Structure 1
């Protein structure tokens, strides 16, 4: 009898572990009696390729990952993985996650279907996704009486789901390149387990040292909507990345949603930089476990700092009102007998002000979604991916040293005022021009430096008045400029201020 195998991780809340399931021809499953609400497939070395994949194979350099098959040294244009069906606690909502590398010309698409009392729904897609091309969630979902998807969440229309199945498509338009699939996961919000209840089984008094960024002081056209990429950038920069929130944002736009807050896209962005990441429904103890392990957690919240608001959960010491926001939980502590959650909340006026303590009981009500970004350790062997994609550029000054032409390898880069100022909708030409000065400050990450944002003139030149900058910063020797582009390498150029005439 043929023995088919599929190795995956299983999570109850956030207690992650590995479990091998053996599927025989009678489809008997030897699984834990207690159903996990999050299933993680993250080691494909045990996959029966003939049964669960089509035109995929194990990566030569990483046998835990999947890539497209090759024919005569060229990758096939498309392949797929279909996971075994897996049981779940009864649910109404499901969120999928994936970690994949998508070189130029490649993309992945994740789909799920749910089972309700023996009936399977249609397959529903999270959209075709790539870090090297504009990506969007589905614009028109499939007609289906059982379930439907809205941006990042699959919802059971009537009744409840009790099983699910995942399918991943890998694509390439370049026969010399293939996507690399590292992880695919699904998490559901259990109907009969109240994630709002804090059983306090895990005790932790710890705050994980993590850089804090305010989204409010970033590029003005992006600032109102980049809480999710700012949260992810803080989480990965705590380890060994060094990315600007704007860089993560412009590689994380959901063109259908027209925003940067797609939960699945956000953890996929972290995964594309080499971090094991997924979105999960969990509880306070799940956050405590992650903090105890040394990893801060992104969470989706609603709150007000006005006790008389009456509509939003009240959080003392919050900075305002929000009906939907991502922040980073960095720890738990107790002060004067009261339990607090330490957070980096980007809805703040400065980086320093983003570090806050919220009362645990109030935070718990604000975190009503129970959605979390679980961003863990680096994948071994993927260290080269942990930095943003940047290229060196040159700046040529005008005679007055107030405008600079941007060039890469001698070729002028086209810039327009519209690219700098566009806000709605943000499109493929959106560009951020940020610059910083080495005026003596010491920072752990680049994003913690003080940034200003430059404009361009009608000739496409970057407007920088060096005389005024030098007068305002007499101790600065170097100005570094970052031209952050949508799904394209960031261009980095420097100007030695000591070489310029005052």
Structure 2
């Protein structure tokens, strides 16, 4: 079996070094300020979530050339351009002129003085449009960060190449692909508050517009931990989620992070998108070479690909891709325990989790990885984790059962040892949660309780 790989490895290593032993990157947007309460086991992460997605939210921000669209899913669009400017795409070298409008959120004071922040968004960007998301925050020493670009994004790749932006920093913090991180967490410096700024772009002289349905950020300060306390099993349920192997696609479309060998994130995303009854159309898939099995996996890889990161593992880009499907919402968040994950499974919501481990740490995996995504679809009667693991030789082999204690530790820890004994970072409970805008009342209660809605 091909060992799963990801350029998320580079980000994890950089964050671990920058934090001088602190936690690595995590992501976690939600629609309202919410600090996740610690579970009785003490495994919960200190996370603050704030998301803007209601009509009132959009009205509370400061817009220049934008309008708020009412309805079942309120959003933000271009009304009259606030200006016009050129953008030179660093990945094509092409310079184009764009009209733009901006919206800036109110200042959000985090309930958690933070070492890390990740922005995330759900948007519709028809051809000839794209968006930029920026963050600016205030430190505990009374100074402010610059405006950091957290992503330049379009659903397609014909107008611009979606991209993160490297080499951003002010001597106190840096942006590593999709994650704002305080450079020296041990110094005590923290980010106390932040604003987000959206810039909506369109082709000059047209009436086209992006529509942003949700934008927000997670702020967290995760303690160092090589192990986490064990939880008590509380649920036995398995969801019927489609099974797809990334390794079926090894060698296909190597321009997207060397092909299927590294496609754990988009493969996992596609499984859950289809669980919710959505999938690309035949027209969407017309670009895929005939004869390729499960062409929608190639499609997901192409449209989650970050041209700067050179991979498909940008967390917000995966959530944004999932939300391009009709009436889908998507967040990248951090959970505090398997108990939290059980709540989502109990409500019928599968979860994509991020973890890293050596081969001996996860019985039955048969591989080790410095960064891998898989889909949790349930729990056995004994509390073990049932996962659709895309790092499998075939679709039929994707369903796995992993020992609860091993799995919760590799997912929730922030520090680990690699195969050579060197200290590396862990993701500390990072996951993607995708859900329909028409979630049931029971699903909405669970999502709200976990700070996701």
- The alignment's TM-score, normalised by the length of structure 2, stands at 0.69
Matched, 1:251 2:303: yes
Shift of 1:9: 2.3
User: Is residue 277–residue 373 contact of structure 1 (8 Å, CA) maintained in 2?
Assistant: yes
Distance 1:187 1:166 in 2: 11
User: Is residue 70–residue 76 contact of structure 1 (8 Å, CA) maintained in 2?
Assistant: no
- 1:48 is matched with which residue? 59
Matched, 1:375 2:434: yes
- 1:300 is matched with which residue? 354
- 1:130 is matched with which residue? 154
Shift of 1:48: 3.2
Instruction: Give ranges in structure 1 of 5+ residues lacking alignment.
Output: 1-6, 16-33, 308-313, 381-502
> Which structure has the bigger radius of gyration?
1
Distance 2:438 2:123 in 1: 12
Shift of 1:200: 4.4
Shift of 1:131: 1.0
Matched, 1:67 2:77: yes
Matches within 5 A, 1:154-303: 154-158=180-184, 159-173=189-203, 175-191=206-222, 197=228, 200=231, 203-218=234-249, 220-221=251-252, 222-243=259-280, 244-273=296-325, 274-284=327-337, 285-303=339-357
Q: Secondary structure at the match of 1:250?
A: helix
Please, which of 136, 139, 142 is the counterpart of residue 166 of structure 2? Answer: 139
Distance 1:286 1:151 in 2: 27
User: Is residue 291–residue 330 contact of structure 1 (8 Å, CA) maintained in 2?
Assistant: yes
Shift of 1:218: 1.9
User: Is residue 196–residue 283 contact of structure 1 (8 Å, CA) maintained in 2?
Assistant: no
Flag the structure with more relative contact order, 1 or 2, with Cα contacts below 8 A and sequence separation at least 6.
2
Q: Secondary structure at the match of 1:9?
A: coil
Shift of 1:379: 5.8
Distance 2:203 2:226 in 1: 43
User: Is residue 352–residue 375 contact of structure 2 (8 Å, CA) maintained in 1?
Assistant: yes
- The alignment's TM-score, normalised by the length of structure 1, stands at 0.63
- CA deviations 1:112-152 (Å, max 9, x no partner) are 223221322112112210012221100332x4133210111
User: Is residue 102–residue 197 contact of structure 2 (8 Å, CA) maintained in 1?
Assistant: no
Does the C-alpha gap of structure 1 residues 201 and 176 become closer, same or farther in structure 2, counting only changes over 3 Å?
A: farther
Distance 1:253 1:365 in 2: 29
Supply the RMSD in Å over aligned alpha carbons.
2.8
Q: Secondary structure at the match of 2:392?
A: coil
Instruction: Give ranges in structure 2 of 5+ residues lacking alignment.
Output: 1-29, 39-44, 82-97, 253-258, 281-295, 414-426, 440-453
Does the C-alpha gap of structure 1 residues 76 and 208 become closer, same or farther in structure 2, counting only changes over 3 Å?
A: same
**Structure with the bigger percentage of strand:** 1
